């Protein structure tokens, strides 16, 4: 078990997943008022947990309640091999917030006969099952095919060219409508000349009623109302103990947005949230990222509660303070550079709790808001999740991945010495400079709409390329961000190794890449390898039946990263859909199946899961005379126990079959 100073980070491993814990440094140094604020935000975040489940698939909540009732009340043999396989399936579903793999988007099917699942249901408390079923047999007939038939709701997000991305995706953002109908609906209601457009469709489900396409808005008196009312209740309490006026105003505007569903209120909240740069406590709560929608419109619910990491923020602050230098020294076309950099706030945070689309699997860096006009006019806020990265680093020190997939001894030594710093700098540059850089050509409109299903991959590629280009710039040494360029070389090694080899351990045999971040990494690494082959900047080696990709010339590789960055920025700035499609489909999607089989075999020998998730700390109020006197932190180590607790306490949405 991986430990550091007596704290155990690793807890368990199942299927392709390992579960870690993380600590909250300096929590005890906070004031009581700050702890109260964190607790109220913590409860608000967990109150939205049901939403992500329903967004991911229409019947996820029903399936979760059925599975959890079996776990609680099953009277049969719990020591059998089949029951162990059942629990493995349940934990995978908990981890993915539904029955589709959180990364590949493919349906998770239990390694069990359907008859065994039926017996589990029949041998559990019938009164504990949800839905409108008059008999247990009706429930069995309805739910067993949903779970066992791999053809039903086969993939949560479909991005295959030539397919109806809406009709064939299993997510719950659309119902009874086609991709063409969705695109036509938003084209008709959008004001294409508005310089400050709202994020049309961000907080709604699109359905067809009486032959008409209509929006079901997510608000307290609309869809997801029960959960949103609880979120608002806790946000009101948080507002009463806000650290300053700006934070109080931001919370008030977020409450208004949840109450009304008004997207203009959401923009106003984002601007106020951006302007709050003084608070020690920060939060994300709402419908944010659009990766779960193949059309890039619908925002999944997420929550991140955090405390500023003062020491690590100095590094991020240095980068944000020099954001203009990075922008003006970028290899991108002058026409697409911002003339003025506004409101770039970079910091490092220690996570207190996460929920929704950020838990159990978590990001390591975040840059918000996503609206391009707000970024241009008001700036952005970028964070690196310090305690999450620290947990990853400690848990991964003895994984053996570097020894298995790095070719040269100096590459391995450099990775061990500078790997964590290289990763931290990459995340900072990616979030602070990458996502905050560049501008859209006048008249092009929102790139997430012009680039359609390729928008997310192009945006992540753009941010990664900014980080990669500057990772080998002497300016970082001059600014004191790294001791020498060996840190940048360690990041180049890691990125090429990850983009062309190790990330394939996350892909099921025979599959291509679907997830935007994975496509982005392979696109960059694959393009750079292909284009620089005549200069041997990256060399493909074979030794003892193993494949390696070795960086031979870091300066030449940096030049190619700059060339690709210039083109990717142009694609986004001009909304060049056709080139985006060709670039992604050529380099970012297809997997060499022979190489894939090799990577899977080598990874299997390491006995480590390719995906990682976290158990959240628990915040508990200490009461005195009906007032919160203090907040205590507990660090549970039972993943199943936390999931069952959440399922009991935060089941706020109705369940029907």
> Which residues lie across from 356 on neighbouring strands?
302
Residue whose C-alpha is closest to residue 369's, from 286, 312, 425, 292 = 286
Q: What burial class does residue 221 get, using C-beta atoms within 10 Å of its C-beta: 0-12 exposed, 13-18 middle, 19+ buried?
A: exposed
Low-confidence ranges of the chain (pLDDT < 70): 1-5, 343
Fill in the DSSP letter of residue 23: -
Query: Beta strand 10-14 with 7-8: parallel, antiparallel or unpaired?
Result: unpaired
Q: What burial class does residue 283 get, using C-beta atoms within 10 Å of its C-beta: 0-12 exposed, 13-18 middle, 19+ buried?
A: buried
Task: Give a three-class secondary structure readout of 556-576.
Answer: HHHHHHHHHHHHHHHHHHHCC
Cα 386 from Cα 618, distance rounded (Å): 19
| pLDDT value, residue 286 | 98
Residue whose C-alpha is closest to residue 111's, from 140, 94, 86, 91 = 86
DSSP E strands in 357-511: the ranges are: 365-368, 380-385
Contact 341, 92 (CB under 8 A): no
How is residue 555 written in tokens? Answer: 């300066």
How open is the CA angle 216-654-73, to the nearest 5 degrees? Answer: 150
Residue whose C-alpha is closest to residue 619's, from 594, 648, 645, 598 = 645
Q: Calculate the alpha carbon distances from 192 to 70, 183, 370, 630 in Å.
A: 51, 14, 18, 51
Phi, psi of 627 (to 5 degrees): -120, 150
Query: In Å, how far from its chain's centre is CA 462?
Result: 17
Contact 144, 133 (CB under 8 A): no
Which ranges of 261-341 does DSSP label H, i.e. alpha helix? 263-275, 310-321, 323-328
The percentage of residues in the chain with a pLDDT greater than 90, rounded to a whole number, is 86
The per-residue DSSP string of 590-622 comes to: ---HHHHHHHHHHHHHHT--SEEEEEPPEEEEE
End-to-end CA distance of the chain: 42
Q: Where are the domains of the chain?
A: 7-152+637-649, 309-612
Q: What is the pTM of this model?
A: 0.85
| pLDDT value, residue 3 | 58
Please say whether the dihedral angle defined by the alpha carbons of residues 470, 473, 476 and 479, taken in this order, is positive or negative.
negative
Cα 140 from Cα 348, distance rounded (Å): 48
Cα 545 from Cα 568, distance rounded (Å): 36
| pLDDT value, residue 656 | 76
């Amino acid at each position: 078990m991986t430990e550091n100073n007596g704290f155990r980070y690793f807890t368990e491993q199942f299927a392709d997943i390992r579960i870690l814990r993380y600590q909250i440094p300096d929590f005890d140094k906070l004031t009581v008022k700050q702890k109260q604020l964190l607790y109220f935000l913590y409860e608000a975040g967990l109150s939205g947990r049901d939403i992500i489940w329903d967004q991911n698939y229409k019947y996820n909540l029903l399936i979760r309640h059925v599975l959890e009732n079996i776990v609680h009340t099953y009277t049969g043999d719990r020591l059998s091999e089949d029951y162990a396989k059942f629990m493995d399936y349940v934990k995978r579903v908990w981890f993915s917030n539904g029955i589709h793999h959180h990364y590949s988007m493919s349906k998770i099917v239990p390694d069990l006969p359907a008859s065994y699942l039926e017996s589990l249901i029949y041998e559990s408390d019938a009164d504990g099952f949800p839905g409108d079923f008059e008999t247990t047999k009706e429930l069995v007939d309805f739910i067993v095919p949903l779970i066992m038939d791999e053809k039903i709701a086969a993939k949560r997000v479909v991005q295959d060219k030539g397919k109806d991305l809406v009709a064939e995706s299993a997510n719950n953002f659309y119902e009874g409508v086609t991709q063409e109908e969705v695109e036509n609906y938003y084209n008709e209601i959008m004001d294409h000349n508005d310089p400050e457009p709202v994020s049309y469709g961000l907080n709604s489900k699109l359905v067809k009623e009486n032959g008409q396409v209509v929006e079901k808005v997510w608000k307290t008196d609309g869809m997801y109302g029960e959960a949103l009312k609880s979120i608002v209740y806790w946000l009101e309490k948080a507002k009463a103990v806000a650290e300053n006026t700006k934070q109080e105003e931001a919370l008030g505007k977020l409450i208004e947005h949840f109450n009304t569903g008004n997207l203009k209120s959401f923009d106003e909240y984002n601007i106020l949230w951006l302007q709050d740069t003084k608070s020690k406590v920060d939060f994300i709560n709402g419908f944010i990222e659009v990766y779960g929608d193949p059309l890039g419109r619908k925002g999944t619910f997420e929550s991140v509660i955090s405390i500023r990491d003062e020491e690590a923020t100095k590094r991020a602050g240095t980068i944000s303070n020099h954001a203009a230098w990075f922008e003006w020294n970028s290899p991108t076309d002058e026409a697409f550079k911002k003339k003025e950099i506004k409101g770039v706030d970079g910091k490092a945070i220690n996570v207190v709790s996460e929920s929704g689309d950020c838990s159990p699997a978590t990001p390591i860096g975040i840059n918000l808001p996503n609206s391009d006009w707000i970024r241009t006019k008001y700036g952005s806020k970028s964070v690196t999740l310090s305690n999450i990265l620290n947990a990853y680093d400690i848990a991964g020190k003895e994984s053996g991945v570097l020894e298995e997939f790095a070719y040269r001894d100096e590459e391995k030594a450099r990775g061990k010495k500078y790997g964590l710093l290289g990763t931290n700098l990459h995340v900072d540059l990616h979030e602070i400079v990458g996502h905050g850089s560049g501008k859209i050509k006048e008249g092009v409109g929102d790139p997430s709409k012009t680039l359609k299903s390729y928008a997310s991959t192009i945006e992540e590629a753009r941010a990664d390329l900014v980080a990669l280009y500057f990772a080998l710039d002497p300016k970082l040494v001059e600014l004191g961000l790294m001791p020498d360029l060996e840190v940048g070389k360690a990041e180049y090694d890691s990125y090429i190794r990850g983009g062309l080899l190790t990330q394939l351990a996350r892909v099921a045999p025979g599959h291509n890449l679907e997830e935007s971040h994975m496509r982005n990494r392979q696109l960059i690494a694959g393009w750079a390898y292909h284009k620089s082959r005549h200069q041997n900047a990256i060399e493909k080696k074979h030794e003892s039946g193993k494949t390696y990709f070795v960086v031979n010339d870091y300066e030449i590789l940096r030049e190619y990263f700059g060339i690709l960055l210039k083109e990717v920025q142009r694609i986004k700035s001009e909304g060049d859909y056709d080139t985006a499609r060709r670039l992604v489909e050529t380099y970012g999607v297809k997997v060499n199946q022979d190489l894939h089989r090799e990577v899977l075999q080598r990874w299997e020998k390491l006995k480590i899961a390719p995906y990682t998730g976290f158990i959240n700390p628990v915040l508990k109020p200490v009461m005195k005379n009906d007032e919160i006197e203090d907040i205590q932190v507990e660090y549970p180590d039972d993943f199943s126990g936390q999931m069952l607790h959440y399922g009991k306490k935060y089941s706020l949405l109705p369940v029907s079959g």
